Amino acid sequence: MEEIAKALMKKIFSKIEKVIRLLKKSIYFAWHRHHFLIPPSTMKKYIKSFFIVLKRGNNVSNLYTNQKAYLKWINDNTEEINYKKFKYNPKYSFIIPVYNVEKKLLTECLESILSQTYDNYEICIADDHSTNEETINTLKEYEKYENIKIVWRDKNDMISASSNSALDIATGDYIVLVDNDDTIDKDALYYFTEVLNNDKSIDMIYSDEDKLDYNGKRMEPHFKPDYSPETFHSLNYICHLTAIRKTIVDKLGGFRSEYDGSQDYDLFLRVEDKTQNIYHVDKILYHWRQTRTSTAGYLGNKSYAYIAGKNALIDTFKRRNIKAVVR
């Protein structure tokens, strides 16, 4: 009887925790999207969505995205590629910092890269001194691949130091940044290479992206503009998937630890100092996974990332001798 009571209390507290978490996200959304000035018709939709999410057995997914419509859009816009041979075949180095990620997610990430239809690439992994045996054993399983190289770091130093360790063993013409629990489209490198065969001078390429909900279903597409400095100086809309000419990254000294959390934004801003030859591939090639602790699930999960991004932008304007206030 006591065990039943404990199980019941655990279930009740779990439900309460879910309601609180959902309310926090709803308040955050209502302020940042509407400043609490929500039209009655829109409010009705939000309230309906709130209770739909509460009924789900899984973690809270994005409350306000029409996922069904997007999944239909994906189905209607799937294209067949007539693959062609390229004269120029650059080598890509995937840079993946890894730390205590569960086997399923890490495996899905690596398999999505190994499934690329373009084959001139390597995967450079830096394990940031993981303590999770599942993570370590999964990496050891993949270490047998000829095009996978792993650095086993002897201490945990956060994402920039880890990324730099992966960068040290990279030999590609371009580096490609991927998080250890995300996935990419099988034709991602093919599309990037197609662009470079039209213009070898391009220094940085980025694509559109979407998110994976807690069940692994695609949602919340981000259809990005072509390169727009004004927009980029307001937010890191470039994000994923991004390839950067390695010689430029090497000259810049790689990632900077003081901007951990927004280390990619800081790097992109410094790349922008060197070149504006930046190209946008208007295809969704990156799938950013939502987890309880990721910014893909809720921006407030990593407030330090927001602060680091702001500081990176402040530093950029100082570096360029531009008088500006970042709010």
At 21, the pLDDT band (50, 70, 90 cuts) reads confident
Position 146 scores a pLDDT of 95
What pLDDT sits at residue 134? 96
Answer yes or no: is pLDDT of 57 > 50.
no
Mean pLDDT of the chain: 89
Give me 185's structure tokens.
């489209």
Q: Higher-confidence residue: 216 or 1?
A: 216
Share of the chain above pLDDT 90, in %: 69
Identify the pLDDT of residue 292: 56
The pLDDT score that the predictor gives to residue 39 is 80
Token match 């065969």: residue? 197
pLDDT digits (tens, 9 = 90+) for 290-299: 865 554 444 4
CB–CB of 255/179 below 8 Å? no
The whole-number pLDDT of residue 300 equals: 46
Which residues are bridge partners to 92 per DSSP?
Answer: 121, 174
Instruction: Give the model confidence (pLDDT) of 88-98 as tens digits.
Output: 999 999 999 99
Please state the rounded mean pLDDT for residues 48-64: 59
Say how far apart CA 46 and CA 54 lie, in whole Å.
12
Res 55: pLDDT: 64
**pLDDT band at residue 8, thresholds of 50, 70 and 90?**
confident
Q: Per residue in 153-206, pLDDT tens? A: 999 998 999 999 999 999 999 999 999 999 999 999 999 999 999 999 999 999
> How confident is the model at residue 59, as a pLDDT?
43
Per-residue confidence band for 45, with pLDDT thresholds at 50, 70 and 90? confident
Query: pLDDT, tens digit, for every residue of 239-292?
Result: 999 999 999 999 999 999 999 999 999 999 999 999 999 999 999 999 999 865
How do residues 100-138 score in pLDDT, each as one tens digit?
999 999 999 999 999 999 999 999 999 999 999 999 999
Could you tell me where the DSSP H helices lie in the chain? 2-34, 40-55, 67-76, 103-114, 133-142, 158-168, 188-198, 229-232, 246-252, 263-274, 303-319
pLDDT at position 14 over 70? yes
Give pLDDT, residue 237.
95
**pLDDT for position 41:** 76
Q: What was the pLDDT predicted at 302?
A: 55
| Cα separation values, 27 from 13, 54, 116, 182, Å | 21, 16, 41, 28
Sign of CA dihedral 306, 308, 312, 313: positive
What tokens were used for 204?
């940085």
